[in-house]
Structure 1
Amino acid sequence: MDDEMLKDFVVEALELATNVEEHLLTLERHPDDMEVLNAVFRAFHTIKGGAGFVNLPAMVSACHLTENLFDALRTGKAPVTPIAIEAALQASGFVADQLNELSNGADPASLASMPSDLEDILTHAIEGKDAPAATAAPAAPPAVAAPATAGAATGTSASVLAADGSLDWNALYQAVTNGAASEPVAAATPAAHGEAAPVAAAAATPAAAKPAAAPAAAPARRATDGPQGKEESIRIDAGKLDALLEVAGESVQAANQAAVLLEKLQQFKFEGSAASLMTTLAETLSRASRYSSELQRATLSTRMQPVGRLFQKFPRLVRELAKDLGKDVDLAISGAETEVDRVVVDSLYDPLVHMLRNSLDHGIETDRIGAGKSNKATISLKAWQEASSVMIEVFDDGKGMDPEVLRKKAISKGLIGENDAQSQDEALQLVFLPGFSTKEVASSVSGRGVGMDVVKTAVEKHRGTIRIDSTLGVGTRFSIRLPIELSIIPTMLVRTAGAALALPMAVVERVVELPDTFDEVGGAPVLRDQGRPLPVHSLAGVLGYEPGNERVGIVMAVPHPYILGVEAVEGTADLVIKPLTAIQTNGITGTARSAEGELVLVVGLSFLLEGCRATAKAAVAQV
């Protein structure tokens, strides 16, 4: 079997399997939706065709039985019942599990056969309404006429390969259905008069027997068919995209540095041909700078993915966990089209799973009627873009968190002292401490004190922040802020204590002048800004530098606003950020190069959002 062919199948089939779960949960709410019924039928039919082509018999069998079920549902021979939905979800889960194993490098021959309980529940769902006995026949009968099987394999392999040797899934779908996609393919009769055998017969053949000769035939077919089968996208290794993005970023930096050098050079007087050359150089550099910026933007766009790719994995998780907990919960998703760096999308799955489990187990009441609420609870998962950040919010309309209960539990576990976490915000943040849990007895869902600390760690790893707002009896809201893309961020360049520093523009509100003396509250400097008394922190002080003459203040747009004192503001710039990996420096998350080529330290977004809390208490009065 061609490894690339198998890899292409797995990628495409995983996407289909994920969409199937979403369709099934929609169908559970709208059982008469024929469009969804047909979509599920087509998805299983297409996966079955591809699985047969790459010789995955267990997947073929599961898809075939599920296909039979949905043929019965869409033709009215069987009703859409809870057992039908459950059977289809189990089949979808089995298919997805096998695809994930293949994606992780498993040998196809090592995959498990279809479980008997899955076959039983599918057969039971099919026979729920006088379904013909033939529809419950095994999906891939072992005894099929050899000539017909060989013909099917040959015809299919020769027509579903694109010119580059990859699978053309539209052509594959047409091939396995004999051009009649609307007809059910449950019959297992052999083909006649040279026609292609039904898909069940094709699925039973060893796919490796024929495809070797197919790539040579495919280009000729493409040449005569014209652009009908033209692909609109190609699949590229993520590492290559990352390398391209780094080169694009460096080209922008080089163009910026060249522009600075040219500006300095133009201070000298040039005459004659030298002046003409300088003019040409300036025009050429301007064009090069524009093209490098366009290259950078185009490269960045290739890494952007909608969060919907991630969100669509959660409806089934919430459904099954709510069922296990005996709770009636609806998951409402919005903003799935919001785009963010693919690295962020890939890293958010585990944190969001922990947050949804936390909401289901801790947040949603078991007796909602007794709490004066409707029996059906709602968890909302939404995303939206805010300036250069993406916001992701999980809200449950449950019982909310009691800050005092959280404090007492943390103290009893020895996680904090008696005088710590006095404010409500600080008490709510205790849920992120490793080892913290309000559960007295651990269950399969929660109670071991792990999970929410994983959430905070994962979010901060990508220069993000997480905030909790909770009201007793109303519910709890977790808000995650992340940069839309990770490698380039808009910054304000500042200087203090002789160091060049960059602050993310996402939290910069405006620049103000600082006076020689300040009012004090509790011994800490305070400046009244637009009627608000704001604490003043020295950027040098909170980073551990020796404070200098800091007379410029930056008002920080954070949940609890404050002013950050610096010596000078030197402008703004989009910087290519290189994360710190070898060392850990308090408050600093990465480095960059300015247009002049100077090394710049990038101050962490979470550090600023939390009010420089890590060291501000020790050095807040240094301005």
Structure 2
Amino acid sequence: MSSDPVEIFRQEAQDLLEQIEQGLLDLAARPGDRDTVDAVFRALHTLKGSGAMFGFDALAAFTHHCETAFDRVRKGEVPASPDLVTAVLAAQDHMRALAEGREASAAEGEALLEGLRRAVDGASGTAAPAAAPAGPALTTFRIVFRLPADALMNGTRPLPLIDELRDLGACQVTALTDKVPALGALNPTECHLGWEVILTTAHDRSAIDDVFIFVIDEMELEVETLSAPAVPAVAAAASPLATPEPVTAQPASAPAERAEPEAAEKAQRGGETVRVPAERLDALMDRVGELVIAQSRLKSLAGAGVDPLLRSVSEEIERLAAELRDTMMVVRMVPVGQLFGRFRRLIHDLARDTGKSISLTLEGETTELDKTVIERLADPLVHLIRNAADHGLETPEARAAAGKSAAGTIALAARQSGAEVIITITDDGRGIDRARVRAKAEENGLIAADAVLSDHELLQLIFQPGFSTAQTITSLSGRGVGMDVVKRTIEGLRGAIEVTSTLGEGSQIALRIPLTLAIIDGLLVRVGSARYVIPLAAVEECVELSLEQDLRSTGRSLITLRDRLVPFIRLRELFDTRTAPDEHQKVVIVATGQERVGLVVDQILGDHQTVIKSLSRFHADVGSFSGATILGDGAVALILDVPHLVAAGQKRDAQLRAAG
């Protein structure tokens, strides 16, 4: 981790801003949730205090206004109205810019604060009932606190804490020096002082706890109520329905007793996770990949020799390398919930921009994916969700006319299937109009007027560059960009896209994504004199192709497998090896989704731990391969792109059926 304290603050600020955003979105759905209101207030308070501590004064000053607004919500003075939530969400974007050090216009900040003030005034009502003049109920507290010894080293300053107490009311501060050691034993970097504060304030006990919110779990804090407030008779008469809440003196030991389990819980949580920069994980993954390649070479050498000791050592290193690889894979895995959570804000903004009522449902948030895959999926999912909101969902009036609920639903779901994760984006909108898609494709010259297309091929046309069926261009879509980017990105991840849609009922787009982009288990095969790797997760079974079956299927490449016809591709012909086939050829049955295709190879060499290396720019457009790997003898083997080969098999089979 970087030792720069500013960078550490920025990382923590991002986490706090994420908590604020998620809490605000929760409040949009559940405005009366007190726990969520408290969580948002605490995050704002922490962000303000941390910003001031690390010199982000503009951030602290701006956040203070949002904190004040939520303090009023917390006290029940104003409700968490939709306008207030929207105003704080907009302000949160400004806070993010200030925390990241980006340029943030002061005029824009003032405009956001003015919107926040209007939202608060609108929520509280402009006409407040006149009350009889009465002074606020005051309480006197005796506060004794001592900071942890390392507080100064960690950047905690006692004077701002005392200033915050002064802001709450009239206070008298006395320094406690009874624990200051002799000069010879004094460590100037440690905090030895304590403070006693007599505070008379109109605020309650929670305001005192909020002052020490950053250090309350590590410090010594005693709060004693010296005088409780009396309930003014005029105030009681002005609010006949209000029942005054009894004030009970809290023993001085109570805060410490409550803080102890919280401190223990925090310490336990702190020991469970470690923040590590992503580049270090990437570097470690590269080293593991090189180790796997070296282990593969050692295995090849040991297999060619006769030394049993060398073979034993090779097997032990192979086991350890496999365990290290699996452990490294787990370390890089993160739940897709981290990705899905970002889209709650997107749905909130889309509903506002389109004037539609949109609800988002999430499923399978604990499903895990490689962190690199998660990062690269963000933009494609944004395009798909925006497309579903603008193209897919109807207006409330159109939905009512169709007999649907006024609120449309977009569902995000993730589940693991073998070595793939399937992410689906489903909407209950109008569905895809095949006739309009075909007409637009013919108009753009993508297909001929008399072309015969399957439903799958027709729906895949929406991913063509420049393709759009939108009748009008909006700020969200209609220019024909976005969906082609989605397809390129998913294919760059060695994934595939499947589209299903029912007119009038909705659409679903399924993304099939490999779990990792680094190391996979593969099946090493030989075709002619070259060797290739087939991802083991896509392999269903291997069968022998006899010479009779080979000769019988020269017209249509089909093999009968348990009473089912499975098309197959002769890789020897596809790769133009110009070699004679082996006498005992093998068919590797691979699958992606619901489709199965056989790949005819000359020989199956066995399993292989495959470290994936990207192809160069000159070979990036070769669709049959998704990458390359280095074998134990130093030779290079290409990794077959199974979805592309399955699609090729489907196309070939369709051509044969049409010709027959």
Q: TM-score, normalised by structure 2?
A: 0.75
Task: State the distance in 2 between where 1:43 and 1:186 align.
Answer: 22
Return the index of the structure with the highest Cα Rg. 2
2:613 counterpart (553, 574, 578) = 578
Post-superposition Cα deviations, 1:112-131, rounded to whole Å, max 9, x if no partner, equal 33622221232234344379
Q: Does structure 1 retain, via aligned residues, the 8 Å contact 2:527–2:602?
A: yes
| Secondary structure, aligned partner of 1:393 | strand
Q: Deviations over 1:475-512 (max 9, x none)?
A: 11111111111111121111112210111123221112
Pick one of 507, 511, 516 that aligns with 1:476: 507
Secondary structure of 2:276's counterpart equals coil
Query: Structure 1 pair 614/596, CA: closer, same or farther in 2 (3 Å)?
Result: farther
Q: 2:110 aligns with which of 113, 116, 121?
A: 116
Q: Tell me which of 414, 425, 433 is aligned to 2:445.
A: 414
Structure 2 counterpart of 1:382, which letter? A
Is the contact made by 1:519 and 1:526 (CA closer than 8 Å) also made in structure 2?
no
Letter of the 1:557 partner, please give it. Answer: A
Matches within 5 A, 1:297-308: 297-308=326-337
The residue that corresponds to 1:293 in the other structure is: 322
Q: Indicate the residue corresponding to 2:430 in structure 1.
A: 399
SS of 1:244 mapped into structure 2 = helix
Determine if the alignment matches structure 1 residue 601 to structure 2 residue 638. Answer: yes
Of 557-566 and 495-504, the range deviating more from structure 2: 557-566
Amino acid at match of 1:159: A
Larger mean Cα displacement after TM superposition, 457-466 or 552-561: 552-561
Amino acid at match of 2:639: V
SS in 1 for 2:557: strand
Q: Distance in 1 between matches of 2:126 and 2:401?
A: 44
Aligned partner of 1:30 in structure 2 is 30
Counterpart for residue 526 of structure 1? 558
Alignment gaps of 5+ in structure 1: 134-154, 197-214, 267-277
Per-residue deviation, residues 448-497 of structure 1 (Å, max 9, x unmatched): 11000010111111111111111112211111111111111121111112
Aligned ranges 1:242-253 → 2 under 5 Å: 242-253=282-293
Deviation, 1:616, is: 8.7
Letter in 2 for 1:120: E
Name the aligned partner's letter for residue 304 of structure 1. Answer: M
User: What pairs up with 1:208-227 in 2 under 5 angstroms?
Assistant: 217=189
Residue pairs, 1:383-394, within 5 angstroms? 383-394=414-425
User: Secondary structure of the residue that 2:399 maps to in structure 1?
Assistant: coil
Q: Distance in 1 between matches of 2:13 and 2:569?
A: 54
Separation in structure 1 between the aligned mates of residue 512 and residue 286 of structure 2, nearest angstrom: 24
SS where residue 400 of structure 1 aligns?
coil
Spell out the pairing of 1:32-51 with structure 2 (5 A cutoff): 32-51=32-51
The letter for the 2-side match of 1:549 is: P
Question: Which structure 2 residues correspond to residues 38-437 of structure 1 after superposition, within 5 A?
Answer: 38-99=38-99, 101-102=100-101, 106=102, 110-113=103-106, 115-127=109-121, 128-129=123-124, 159=151, 187=167, 193=173, 217=189, 233-266=273-306, 278=307, 280-366=309-395, 367-420=398-451, 422-437=453-468
**Number of residue equivalences:** 549
Moved more, 82-91 or 295-304: 295-304
CA distance in 2, matches of 1:308, 1:429: 28
Looking at structure 1, the residues matched to 340 and 300 of structure 2 have their Cα atoms a distance apart, in angstroms, of 45
Letter of the 1:112 partner, please give it.
Answer: S
Aligned counterpart, 1:462: 493
Match of residue 200 from structure 1: none
Do the aligned partners of residues 129 and 553 (structure 1) sit closer, same or farther apart at CA in structure 2, a change above 3 Å counting? same
**Which amino acid counterpart does residue 350 of structure 1 have in structure 2?**
D
Q: Which has the higher contact order (CA 8 A, sep 6+)?
A: 1
1:286 to 1:397, Cα distance in 2 relative to 1, 3 A: same
The answer on whether the counterparts of 1:519 and 1:527 sit within 8 Å (CA) in structure 2 is: no
RMSD over aligned CA atoms reads 3.7
Partners of 1:282 and 1:518 in 2: CA distance: 39
1:557 is aligned to 591
Which residue of structure 2 lines up, in the alignment, with residue 211 of structure 1?
none
Aligned residue type for 2:342: K
What percentage of residue pairs aligned between the two structures are identical?
A: 32
Can you list the C-alpha shifts for 1:138-163, whole angstroms capped at 9, x where unaligned?
xxxxxxxxxxxxxxxxx99972755x
* Shift, 1:447, TM fit: 0.7
Distance of 1:430 and 1:553 partners within structure 2: 32
Would you say the 8 A contact 2:87–2:116 is kept in 1?
yes
- The amino acid across from 2:151 in the alignment is S
CA shift, 1:193, in A, is 2.9
CA contact (8 A) 2:58 2:98 kept: no
The match for 1:590 is 627
Cα contact 2:590–2:642 (8 A) shared by 1 = no
1:450 aligns with 2:422: no
Hey, what's the Cα distance between the residues in 1 that align with 2:393 and 2:554? 41
Structure 1: distance between partners of 2:188 and 2:449: 76
Aligned mates of 2:643, 2:192 — CA distance in 1: 57
Distance between the aligned counterparts of 1:220 and 1:264, measured in 2? Answer: 70
Partner Cα separation in structure 2 for residue 185 and residue 467 of structure 1 = 60
Equivalent in the alignment of 1:502: 533
Residue 571 of structure 2 aligns with an amino acid whose one-letter code is L
CA pair 194-429 structure 1, distance change in 2 beyond 3 A: farther
Q: Residues 423 and 363 from structure 1, CA distance in 2 versus in 1: closer, same or farther, beyond 3 angstroms?
A: same
Which segment drifts farther, 470-479 or 284-293?
284-293
Is residue 159–residue 175 contact of structure 1 (8 Å, CA) maintained in 2? no
**What is residue 601 of structure 2 aligned with on the other side?**
566
Output the CA distance in 1 between the equivalents of 2:399 and 2:608: 52
| Distance of 2:296 and 2:472 partners within structure 1 | 59
Q: Given the superposition, is the C-alpha separation of residues 455 and 528 from structure 1 closer, same or farther in structure 2, using an over 3 Å criterion?
A: same
Which is worse superposed, 604-613 or 402-411? 604-613
The offset of 1:595, in angstroms, is 4.0
Q: TM-score, normalised by structure 1?
A: 0.79
In structure 2, what is the Cα distance between the partners aligned to 1:8 and 1:407? 54
Offset of 1:315 from its aligned partner?
A: 0.8
CA distance in 2, matches of 1:119, 1:466: 44
